[in-house]
Amino acid sequence: MKKLILLLLSFTSQITFINAQWQNTNCPCPYDANVTRVAAIGTNIFAGTNGLFLSTDSGVSWSAINNGLPNYAYVQSLVVSGTSIFAGIENGGVFISTDTGGSWAAINNGLTDSSDVISLLVNGTNIFAGTGNGVFLSTNTGASWKKINNGLPNSTIWSFALNGTNVFAGSDGNGAFLSADTGASWTAVNNGLPNNCWVYSLAISGTNIFAGDQDAGVFLSTNNGGSWIAINNGLTDTIVYSFAVSGVNIFAGTNNPAVWRLSLSDILGLEDISVINNSSSIYPNPATNQLTIYTSRPTEQSFGRPSFQNEAVTVSIMNVLGQIVQEEKASPQPSPKERAFTINIKNLSAGIYFLQLSDQTQRPVLKFVKE
């Protein structure tokens, strides 16, 4: 019994992250203005609104940094590359700063018919600009631009994110799009996002992709956009305009205006749960329609009780937030050395899941991927 209690306590400690809470910082943003973009260089956090603000202490205090920007510049996009910062200004094109926002210069050759730059992504010398006329690409750090819209609807592009060689774009009312060829072509990736989703913001942390919707809050994908789930506990303002990842935190800029903070460890805490599997295993893994769980047979006497080796067990499947998405009873298949349980997973969305097998003697937890 002591071993069982310790195992249950270990499992419980792994899923406490479902109570993760966003916290408001004190950005001195103009009254009735939106924090449209946030970005980070090390411990420096930049917030774009009517002008730009900088915090060097994780959001405790902020100062204005607008030298070289147009008067009353409305910052619609903000990204960093090394020590350079790129800002997209409403009807002002793209500006660059190489001195932590101390000064700014315009880089707009080729953007004359699309100066309303709403989103930016930098990957080496490639810069993607999302505008009201789709996507533009610069391959020379902003010296010149060309349009790349194959596969995109006639839509405004609000946001970008980069995951390896994959580029994600967020649109107004058409959800998220993915390009694996530097923008030469695009495909929709909207499973789990709201209908007519406006993806105002996107961010990457490891293999996790965050999407901010105009009304439904924050969504998380752990499978390269194959599926999405909402993560909004504590977030009272669910109009999410912007994200920035800094150290162990992700920051979100919302409509109030406000900047919210969430600990990444609270979301990623399930990554270690797969160690609680003792002598159990799953096959196949990844799986598509069904999988089989193999676990050792109990002895004739287990924890002072008769053997339960032929009885049905409860199989619980959790998503990356610890939420149970499927639960059922399963009966063991005949086997002399181990118990085997087969379950159907065809109705699960593609993604990463954690499976717990519960009977009278043990509660192994295993990680698997649904394709």
Provide the CB-side half-sphere exposure for 70 (13 A, CA).
15
Give Cα separations from 110 to 94, 147, 250 (angstroms).
11, 9, 34
Residue 227 and residue 351 in contact, taking contact as beta carbons nearer than 8 Å = yes
SS3 18: helix
Tens of pLDDT, residues 317-345: 877 666 778 888 888 776 656 778 888 99
Beta strand 338-344 with 324-330 is: unpaired
CATH class label, 277-370:
mainly beta
Measured CA distances, 170 to 37, 74, 141, 189, 258 (Å) = 14, 20, 22, 10, 21
Query: What does the domain layout of the chain look like in residue ranges?
Result: 14-269, 277-370
Predicted pLDDT at 305: 41
Residue at token pair 């619980």: 316
Q: What is the fold of 14-269? A: Methylamine Dehydrogenase; Chain H (2.130.10)
Q: Is the pLDDT confidence value at 43 over 90?
A: no
84-139 per-position pLDDT tens digit: 889 988 888 899 998 888 899 988 888 866 678 888 888 888 899 988 888 999 98
Q: Among candidates 275, 287, 267, which has minimal Cα distance to 366?
A: 275
Tell me the pTM. Answer: 0.60
User: Considering the chain, what is the average pLDDT of its residues?
Assistant: 77
